[in-house]
Structure 1
Amino acid sequence: MDAEVILQEEKMEGLWTLLPWLASCLMVFGGALPYLPQYQEIHRSSNAEGFSTKVCLVLLIANILRIFFWLGKQFELTLLLQSVVMILTMFAMLHLCCTVKNTNRMSTKQQRLSDLDFRYFWKWNAFEDYLLFCFGFTVLCAVVTLVLLDSAMFVEMLGYLAVMFEAMLGLPQLLQNFHNRSTKGMRSPKLIQFILSMTSAPVPNAILMVMPNVLSHQSH
């Protein structure tokens, strides 16, 4: 009997050890999973009209900023890995959208980043242009962060910007749906992803300091 009790206790200990690991995996990959059905749908139908690539732009900027925010304020490693996974997911979505649009494209004219035409910003035909833009943005952030990393105000500003861009996640898709007069591209998994990303995002200290004062003021 004692042996059975000890065995059960060992199983429970193993379960409690496994749960945090599973929770971390869910947090790392949970934000990207809602895009899997969208990826499969675009690949199956060869139609990317219902998906706004501006969603990728918002999430790429937000997560790149979050990574540089981590350099100044090292929050949980799980959230850092979440940003890396989300960046890779957005690149996968952009690559698929470019492939599908180029396959269905009737015109021979291509819009490229090198044209420097703001009217076609983030509407380029080549996936390499999106990579080049993100690389340039990352290099710019790296240079500025290297110079101002010792400034607590700058680090907090990075956190503000990351949260601000992530809060704009639903706007590009809403505009796309309004333009198409359809809600086909707005699926419930995206709403879940938006909620998960906002609740798990690291918050700058300044926001944490201001919120109690705001709540106290509203209670009066």
Structure 2
Amino acid sequence: MDAEVFLQEDDTGGSWILLSWLASCLMVFGGALPYLPQYQEIQKTSNTDGFSTRVCLVLLVANILRIFFWIGKQFELTLLLQSVVMILTMFAMLHLCCTVQNTNRVSTKQHRLLDLDFRYFWKWSVFEDYLLFCFGFTVLCAVVTLLLLDSAVFVEMLGSLAMMFEAMLGLPQMLQNLHNRSTKGMSVKMVLLWTAGDVFKTTYFVMNESPAQFWVCGSVQILTDVAILLQVLFYSQDTWSKRG
């Protein structure tokens, strides 16, 4: 009897380890998955109107700050790897957007980072300018973090700032949808993927007792996802009514 109980406990423990490993893998790569259909859509249509590159700005800043937050307060390694994967994903999206926009551009005039024209901030024509900005921002963060790393208050503020930026993730897309009065390039399936991902990661944060900044951020993102989903449904109905 004792042997049977031991075997059952061993099987349960093994299953839990497997589920935990799968959840960690999903956390690392799951955040990037919703951008795959959008990447394919942009490639297919050669149109970037449905995607706001400000989303890339928000996610790049948030994940760079999150990496420095990890240096000051070492939480799960899974969340650090997630930040690295998300940064690479945003660079891939920006590279595609720059390529498509340069192909479609009628004017030969280009806007560069070193022009220091704030009107065209994050609207640069060359992908390398986005890399240069992120490199400069990373160096600045590294210097400040090294100087204040011993301050617990600074580390907590850094984490709060990182998660505040991430919580604002859907805001640029929501504002662009309002400005264009359209959600062209977006689909219910895409937004549902975003929402499912945010629900999963928020649950993961709570179950793994991650720092409070993470689950608060996740809760805000879920609310924003719902708002964008309502936009997609509303503007889709509006488009069909005009056709009718």
TM-score of the superposed pair, with normalisation by structure 1: 0.83
Aligned in 2, Cα 1:175/1:22: closer, same or farther, shift over 3 Å?
A: same
Matched residue, 1:190: 194
Matched residue, 1:172: 172
Moved more, 6-15 or 126-135: 6-15
Matched residue, 2:212: 203
Cα distance in structure 2, aligned partners of 1:32 and 1:13: 30
Matched residue, 2:85: 85
Q: What percentage of residue pairs aligned between the two structures are identical?
A: 77
Cα distance in structure 2, aligned partners of 1:57 and 1:198: 22
Cα distance in structure 1, aligned partners of 2:57 and 2:197: 16
Matched residue, 2:65: 65
The alpha carbon displacement at 1:67 in A equals: 0.4
Q: What does residue range 108-119 of structure 1 map to in structure 2 within 5 Å?
A: 108-119=108-119
Matched residue, 1:213: none
Amino acid at match of 1:23: A
Map Cα deviations across residues 166-203 of structure 1 (whole Å, 9 max, x no partner).
11111100111122210234541334444455564743
Q: What does residue range 38-49 of structure 1 map to in structure 2 within 5 Å?
A: 38-49=38-49
Amino acid at match of 2:20: P
Query: What SS class does the counterpart of residue 94 from structure 1 fall into?
Result: helix
**Residue correspondences, number:** 203
Is 1:150 matched with 2:150?
yes
Query: What SS class does the counterpart of residue 75 from structure 1 fall into?
Result: coil
- Preserved contact between residue 32 and residue 86 of structure 2 (Cα < 8 Å): yes
Q: Which runs of 5+ in 1 are unaligned?
A: 1-5, 208-220
Cα distance in structure 2, aligned partners of 1:7 and 1:197: 32
TM-score of the superposed pair, with normalisation by structure 2: 0.76
Matched residue, 1:3: none
Map Cα deviations across residues 81-105 of structure 1 (whole Å, 9 max, x no partner).
0011010100000000000000111
Matched residue, 1:126: 126
Aligned in 2, Cα 1:25/1:156: closer, same or farther, shift over 3 Å?
A: same
Let me know the Cα RMSD of the aligned residues. 2.5
Cα distance in structure 2, aligned partners of 1:115 and 1:197: 40
- Preserved contact between residue 59 and residue 165 of structure 1 (Cα < 8 Å): yes
- Higher RCO structure, 1 or 2 (CA under 8 Å, sep 6+): 1
Map Cα deviations across residues 98-129 of structure 1 (whole Å, 9 max, x no partner).
00000111110001001000000000010000
Matched residue, 1:50: 50
Cα distance in structure 2, aligned partners of 1:100 and 1:191: 28
Is 1:32 matched with 2:36?
no
Aligned in 2, Cα 1:155/1:9: closer, same or farther, shift over 3 Å?
A: closer
Q: Which runs of 5+ in 2 are unaligned?
A: 1-5, 217-244
Amino acid at match of 2:152: A
Moved more, 100-109 or 177-186: 177-186
Amino acid at match of 1:104: N
